Structure 1
């Protein structure tokens, strides 16, 4: 299909299509992997080579905004950015969106730019599509200066529910998310899109004789997740029968703890997706971390980690360390693709790994993971859900 004949999508959101994280990678695959769409991106992140630079608009803050964001008023400025600024941004980009003549406007709901998407959609009468991945008003913020105050959080939550109702298609990243948001005429489950699945099954990596169990974690390393990872690292460090590697951005641990984790070979830093994939292939088990912190219960009940899909693509059993109510636990138990540990005790996590020394058990979990990767988590099926629903909407509105 020629570029000029492709359906046109304006993407407006905080989460940018890039290779920076699991969420941004999934978005990049949906929008750019198969050359299905002509996409205009509007985000607060700079262009880094995804799509056409001429069709990437970087929403920039004023110099005063940046300056105040580095003062003791920075949390107040963040509240303004979440509540008031979307109206100014919507007015600023309205003509650009209109001139692009999109078939649909698409957004991943967040605390700022997704409301811009809703405003522009309403004002230009262009169908809105949303992809609910995280409940950001109650999110896990790198800094508390980014978090909304309670009254602001209520406003943001009401906005997200309004986006859900206004969306012609409201993709939900899990069944838990759809249950949380309630009835909708078109709310398909859309798991985070992994890379293309290989048809050749990776060989099973068994734990041989007295070989150490190789456990790997790749993902978020800050706040509650980071503290759980650090507690696990502390108890692993003295063990010779378990190897534990953490891949991800810089943790918010103390300088001493980061240096210690690097020195003992546990924290490996951030590396590109393809490099992490090679390390996952060399591991026996993939770790998924969720949290039982009460303030993040909604997020745990609704969100779904991309790494679950990527572990299963390599036929790796997983261990989900998190509360019983979180979505990855539900899926792991339903599909028998991994173990679940819903305690807060890192020693208990290590003890539960011993079951994988039994090759028949490891094979069973590996087989189930591979089955999941080729069915529910299959990248082509996930992309088909995304593209087919959008094509139908465009056809019905022309």
Structure 2
């Protein structure tokens, strides 16, 4: 089966969506699937790493200046970019895929969906984030909601990163079933139990730092300064350096940039807790309620207990708390954050060991990459085959609102 992935980003881009797709790519041959990736270059030129078979089309929207880029983005979303549409039609004619997978992201999403649906072949849809928010600079939300709803209701199957996202799609667009497909863990690294928190505590932050997380990060760093008998190193592995509003004398911010997987694992083994700061601001509520933080799967894979600051209703808070992956704190006053740091410093070896054991359990259940891949490919009537040939299988039932409420 040849499965064409249509998306706004190339497979070596940084971000949670690519991590999910890369993990599925690894398992595709076991299901007799030949993946082929088509992405929008955004006028930046073709990107080829050689690892993922791919080609590209271009809306060239970033070549425009003085506000015309926004106009070009609107034209693409509304389906008026005839050049991009013809490129897609030609790519599909050349590659002849059996089915399509769409990722709801970026301005190219509607035009890719149109090209896929025109063929009459099955179209599967992944929703990793809130599409109407990603295209807000180009198009009014009332229009983007209508476009997304029409596409989602035509998809053969919908994959979401959290049950909260599935419930949101039900409430807003009338979607009645979905399957949860997020990043997974292929193997878990052993970790030595911390006997007691040392004089110098190393905290690790992995992944992109979003503007909505800044307030919580600033507050955490400021509150660390109250513990003058300890030193704290806060390590950031991300694209953009983090600069705190206030940098106490006992807190050192260390920026590593993007590291290789081996370097990242080594750094995590020298760290004591993995940071997961969310936003408590009302305007960020929908994002954190529906999203999945891929940091959770990385911290789980390296057995690094999580220090999570987030509201009760955030999906990440729920997962860390339900699976016992670390400490979760749902209050964000300075007093509450200071108390949370004190609790971290008072962790016992048995507390730390319990978090590690819980992470092993989560890696074998909720985050097991093979199980997640099976959930994805079985939706297409495929299962692991013999000698690379997949055989039909009855797919795992999709979740419905009733099943989610009963969990």
Q: CA RMSD in A?
A: 3.2
Q: Give the aligned length.
A: 373
> For each residue in 1:103-125, what CA deviation from the matched residue of structure 2 results, as whole angstroms up to 9, or x when unmatched?
11101111322212321122110
CA distance in 1, matches of 2:68, 2:92: 33
User: Which one scores higher on RCO, CA 8 angstroms, separation ≥ 6?
Assistant: 2
Q: How does 1:175-214 map to 2 (within 5 A)?
A: 175-182=163-170, 184=175, 186-194=177-185, 196-198=186-188, 202-208=190-196, 210-214=198-202
Is the 1:320–1:341 Cα contact (8 Å) retained in structure 2? yes
TM superposition shift of 1:237: 6.0
Distance 1:191 1:225 in 2: 21
- Listed as ranges, the matches of 1:212-361 within 5 Å are 212-236=200-224, 239=228, 240-251=230-241, 264-345=252-333, 348-356=336-344, 357-361=347-351
**Unmatched runs of 5 consecutive residues or more in structure 2:** 384-390, 394-407
Asked if structure 1 preserves the Cα contact closer than 8 Å seen for 2:196 and 2:348, the reply is: no
- How far, CA to CA, are the matches of 1:370 and 1:353 in structure 2? 25
Contact 1:39 1:51 in 2 (8 A): no
* Structure 1 gap segments, 5+ residues each: 1-6, 140-145
Cα 1:137–1:347 change in 2 (3 A) is farther
State whether residues 20 and 184 of structure 2, in contact with CA within 8 Å, keep that contact through their aligned partners in structure 1.
yes
Quick one: structure 1 residues 333 and 208, their matched pair in 2 at CA, closer, same or farther if it must change by over 3 Å? closer
Give the conservation status (yes or no) of the 8 Å contact 1:218–1:246: yes
Equivalences for residues 74-85 of structure 1 within 5 A: 74-85=69-80
Match of residue 161 from structure 1? 149
SS of 1:295's equivalent in the other structure is helix
Q: Pick from 365, 372, 382: which aligns with 2:372?
A: 382
Residue by residue over 1:341-373, the C-alpha shift from the partner in whole angstroms, topping out at 9 and shown as x without a partner, is 223346643531333432222222222122111
CA contact (8 A) 2:75 2:81 kept: no
Distance 2:219 2:11 in 1: 33
Which structure's residues are more often strand, by fraction?
2
The structure whose residues are more often helix, as a share, is 1
1:131 to 126, 129, 140: 126
The CA deviation at 1:202 is 0.7
SS in 1 for 2:321: helix
Of 8, 14, 17, the match for 2:11: 17
In the other structure, the counterpart of 2:56 is 58
Moved more, 30-39 or 367-376: 30-39
- Contact 2:208/2:240 (<8 A) preserved: no
Q: Deviations over 1:16-51 (max 9, x none)?
A: 322633331221221245535322211124323244
Map of 1:49 onto structure 2: 49
Query: How far off its partner does 1:86 sit?
Result: 5.7
**8 Å contact from structure 1 (residues 86, 112) kept in 2:** no
The whole-number CA distance in structure 2 between the counterparts of 1:300 and 1:279 is 27
Q: List structure 1 segments (4+ residues) > 6 angstroms apart after TM superposition.
A: 256-261
SS for the counterpart of 2:90 is helix
Q: What residue number does 1:99 align with?
A: 94
For residues 346 and 218 of structure 1, what CA distance do their matches in structure 2 show?
Answer: 24
State the TM-score, normalized to the length of structure 1: 0.82
| 3-state secondary structure, aligned to 2:179 | coil
Cα distance change on mapping 1:266 and 1:308 into 2, 3 Å: same
